[in-house]
Amino acid sequence: MTEKRRFPNEGSGLFASVPGRQRPYPRGSLPIVASGLAFMFVGATLPTPLYPLYRQAFGFGGVTLTLIYAVYVLGNLAALSIFGRLSDQVGRRRVILPAIAVSVVSALMFVFARSSGGLFAARALSGFATGLASGVATAWISELQPQKDKGAGAVMASAANFIGLAIGPLMAGVLARFAPWPLRLSFLAYILMLFAVGIAICRVPERVPSPIQSGKELSIRPRFGVPRALLIHFVPPAVTAFVTFALMGFYSALIPSVLAEHLHQKSPLVAGLIAFGLFTVAALTTMLARNVESRAAMLSALSLFPPCLGLLVYADLSQSMLVLLAAAAAGGIAASLGYRGSLQVVNGIAPSDKRGEMVSSYFLFAFAGNSLPVIGVGLLSARASPGAAQIVFAVVIAVLAAVGLMVGRRYDPRVPQAASR
């Protein structure tokens, strides 16, 4: 007699259990989860064009702004290291819905912030929510793909990430320029977006049984979630993710200062439009280059990072808007190839019962890399000139890219089947 496997939300009708196999997810589940990932990353860049307004309103300096960014990254890392494997145990939806709720609280704290202290708390919660949702939603998107196409899952997750990162600064910049309440309205609009996607995600059923149903003990403790047999295959995409997000962090740190100090463009709309262009190019590249093999995408990105960094530093030295736009476009292309290629490798090697944990471990490296340039440039600028700090960190990231390129060239994409079980 065929065993009847039951999952949460199964009962009758669309979610009824089926002997010996799982019912397919209902139509629309994939775009709902992809939209959820995109909207969570909107919160990551929503404050970016508003920081000059915050500095003027609350009267803090560059070091405080650096620390606000550092708190965001600490929130990312705390969520990923402590709760990275939680969705593999209790289900994807049971983790992403609380992440959305935390993001709503963070947006409300931005709305009611009256000092830099309020920004610290709001940004820390935003980082925690983004970190918690990133690994969960990325793993879920891979599972929702027809025929479990992990390559297509990496493309969709990468595109959703970049689309969210693009929407954030554009929305904040436009509303700050043309609407009232420049420091509040964009967060109120974001809260409405989060409620809408949260309601939609409630319709997507689970495929991971709860600890009570599975008989397994729920375990929440920090750990690096990569099986020993897969560690050698995990290192190249992890290094690529670190350098890719370091590049994006460097762009995020340098572009606003280039605009404000050298190009005399202090409008949040201009900063928002350039950040929007960077991430839009990245999203388009992700979709147009989706057939590029993952290892080739990784190596191409690592090769492009040093000239992209040089172009951005040259834009600062030459005080040229045209060069800055070219640097943003080049950076978007390189970031897209690096992110999609490395994520596709991790999706491909991750066992199904550890996918959320491994993807979260991948994002640990990514968010750590994202923090390095912003924090480093900010702290060095307090002791040396901003130009010297920028050149130092451009060189550091270029060296890391060269190391990643050497590691990636030795990478054998073939994964023993026994290692992935």
Note the pLDDT of residue 411: 61
Residue ranges of the domains in the chain? 25-208+227-411
Q: How far apart are CA 97 and CA 54, in angstroms?
A: 30
Q: Which residues of the chain have pLDDT under 50?
A: 1-21, 212-215, 416-421
Q: Which pTM does this prediction carry? A: 0.82
Note the pLDDT of residue 11: 36
Q: How far apart are CA 251 and CA 49, in angstroms?
A: 13
Q: How far apart are CA 168 and CA 47, in angstroms?
A: 8
Note the pLDDT of residue 23: 58
Note the pLDDT of residue 209: 58
Note the pLDDT of residue 220: 55
Note the pLDDT of residue 116: 93
Asked whether 208 and 88 are in contact (CB, 8 A), the reply is yes
Asked whether 7 and 207 are in contact (CB, 8 A), the reply is yes
Domain 25-208+227-411 CATH class label: mainly alpha
Task: Write the CA distances from 80 to 41, 43, 86, 95, 309, integer angstroms.
Answer: 15, 17, 10, 12, 28
Tokens of 28: 């629309």
Q: 176: buried, middle or exposed (CB in 10 Å: 19+, 13-18, 0-12)?
A: buried
Note the pLDDT of residue 25: 66
